[in-house]
């Protein structure tokens, strides 16, 4: 039978449906963490402060969403310096937005 144009191959499960095995693994991992919170806290308390901070920062990557880098360009007249108040206004606007 010849290949039909627009024929889509089956991937095994409908598009958008969750992976059951992955869901089971995540649930088991969550239970493992929840059941061992006291021991994890004791372990964290027993390490040096700089190691503790590094551990918390590394762990944050799995919990907090990553922030995207933002590039901005200020277009002004050639050879025109921004005044201090203009810089402060731009800074305040960026702080409010980000």
pLDDT score at 27: 92
For residue 55 the two structure tokens come to 């551990």
Tell me how many domains the chain contains.
1
Please tell me the predicted confidence (pLDDT) of residue 91. 86
Domain assignment present for residue 85? The answer is: yes
Residue range of the domain that includes 92: 20-64+74-97
Assess if residue 13 is contained within a domain.
no
Torsion angles phi and psi, residue 37, rounded to 5 = -60, -40
Asked whether residue 54 is domain-assigned, the answer is yes
Residue 8 in domain: no
Higher local confidence (pLDDT), 76 or 46: 46
**Closest-CA residue to 76 (of 68, 65, 67, 87):** 87
pTM: 0.46
The answer to whether residue 5 sits within a structural domain is no
pLDDT per position as a tens digit, 61-80: 888 887 777 776 666 666 67
Provide the pLDDT for residue 32: 94
- 47 neighbors 55 (Cβ within 8 angstroms): yes
């Amino acid at each position: 039978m010849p290949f039909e144009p627009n024929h889509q191959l089956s991937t095994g499960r409908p598009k958008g449906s969750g992976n059951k095995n992955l869901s089971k693994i995540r649930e088991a991992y969550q239970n493992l963490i929840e059941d061992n919170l006291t021991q994890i806290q004791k372990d964290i308390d027993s390490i040096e402060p700089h190691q503790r901070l590094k551990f918390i920062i590394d762990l944050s990557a799995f919990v907090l969403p990553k922030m995207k880098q933002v590039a901005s360009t200020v277009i002004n007249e050639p050879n025109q310096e921004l005044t201090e108040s203009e810089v402060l206004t731009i800074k305040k606007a960026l702080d409010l937005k980000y």
